[in-house]
């Protein structure tokens, strides 16, 4: 595994942000102090992608979307296609987020179909994987991760890809995995990827905040963070960006 890749601090705004709020937030996010080594991306709701495209680009931030539909175009009322996301200037696309898996009921099959399509359009997926609390407690975390990573089995070996390991029990709960759990799980994820002849950046996500960012991102095998709640507050997000620079610097 190569850990010389730039770290990624990816903000997932989820279903938050009106135009004025999004513009103000982007204005207040600091540019990366180590821009070659720490990349910053924001994933606002679809409604703000076009509106924030230039502002984000001017500050050197990458833009990401939070989901996409699994067809190219057509009679799919309410859905968004990969080409539409490319049109807004998106580089990243979050796929398989636990809220989509567990609230919307998204399956690994659907995620696999989306992966294929987004690669065809040159988008880089941030594929989210993670176990539920009962799976951690009954010792089946690794089985769950293997099953979720199996969506990569027909992936082109050189496909642009970032994985985000996000224990479901740590998302939006204020609970975080311990550095030991993070190091151990990231090692397992990297090993599993290697066994599939893939090598890519693996982020940690789940209640990342200024108080834990440095220790979580300092864990072996962690190459950045997917940040939900704390990405909506510029002062918190800025401190997380600074922590990444400390780890990488």
Q: What's the CA gap between 134 and 219, in Å, rounded?
A: 24
99 is annotated as an active-site residue: no
Nearest C-alpha neighbor of 145 from the set 161, 162, 165, 160: 165
Of the candidates 39, 135, 166, 223, the residue annotated as catalytic is 166
Query: How big, in percent rounded to 5, are the helix, strand and coil portions of the chain?
Result: 45, 15, 40
Residue carrying the six token digits 């066994």? 195
Cα–Cα dist 107/115, whole Å: 12
39 is an active site residue? no
- Residue number of the CB closest to ligand PGA reads 228
| Cβ at position 157, least distance to ligand PGA in Å | 27
Residues 207, 211, 247, 226: what is their CA dihedral angle, to the nearest 10 degrees?
Answer: 20
Burial grade of 105 (CB within 10 A; 0-12, 13-18, 19 or more): exposed
- Element containing residue 10 per DSSP (H, E): strand 7-12
Q: How far is the CB of 123 from ligand PGA (least distance, A)?
A: 18
Q: Give the residue with the Cβ less far from ligand PGA, 81 or 205.
A: 205
Residue ranges that bind ligand PGA, judged by CB under 6 A: 12, 166, 171-172, 205-208, 226-230
- What is the nearest approach in angstroms of ligand PGA to the Cβ of residue 49? 18
Nearest to 99 by CA among 25, 173, 39, 48: 173
Which member of 97, 99, 106, 124 is catalytic? 97
Q: Closest separation between CB of residue 7 and ligand PGA, Å?
A: 16
Judged by CB, which is closer to ligand PGA: 82, or 205?
Answer: 205
Question: For tokens 């821009």, what's the residue?
Answer: 35
Nearest approach, Cβ of residue 63 and ligand PGA (Å): 16
Q: Is the dihedral of CA 218, 219, 224, 229 positive or negative?
A: negative
Q: Which residues are catalytic?
A: 97, 166
């Amino acid at each position: 595994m190569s850990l010389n890749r730039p770290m990624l601090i990816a903000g997932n705004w989820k279903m938050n942000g009106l135009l004025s709020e999004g513009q103000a937030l982007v204005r207040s996010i600091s540019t990366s102090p180590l821009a070659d080594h720490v990349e910053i991306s924001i994933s606002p709701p679809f409604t703000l992608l076009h509106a924030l495209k230039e502002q984000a680009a001017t500050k050197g931030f990458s833009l990401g979307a939070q989901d996409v539909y699994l067809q190219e175009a057509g009679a799919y009322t309410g859905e968004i296609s990969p080409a539409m996301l490319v049109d807004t200037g998106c580089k990243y696309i979050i796929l398989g987020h636990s809220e989509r898996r567990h609230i919307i009921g998204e399956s690994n099959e659907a995620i696999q179909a989306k992966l294929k399509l987004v690669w065809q359009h040159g988008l880089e997926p941030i594929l989210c994987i993670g176990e539920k609390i009962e799976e951690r407690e009954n010792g089946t975390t690794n089985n769950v991760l293997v099953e979720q990573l199996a969506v990569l089995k027909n992936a082109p070996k050189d496909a642009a890809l970032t994985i985000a390991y996000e224990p479901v029990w740590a998302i939006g709960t204020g609970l975080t995995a311990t550095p030991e759990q993070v190091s151990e799980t990231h090692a397992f994820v990297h090993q599993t990827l290697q066994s599939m002849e893939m090598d890519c950046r693996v982020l940690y996500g789940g209640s990342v905040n200024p108080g834990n960012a440095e220790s979580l991102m300092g864990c072996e095998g962690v190459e950045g963070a997917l940040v939900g709640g704390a990405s909506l507050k510029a002062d918190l997000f800025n401190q997380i960006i600074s922590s990444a620079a400390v780890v990488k610097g």
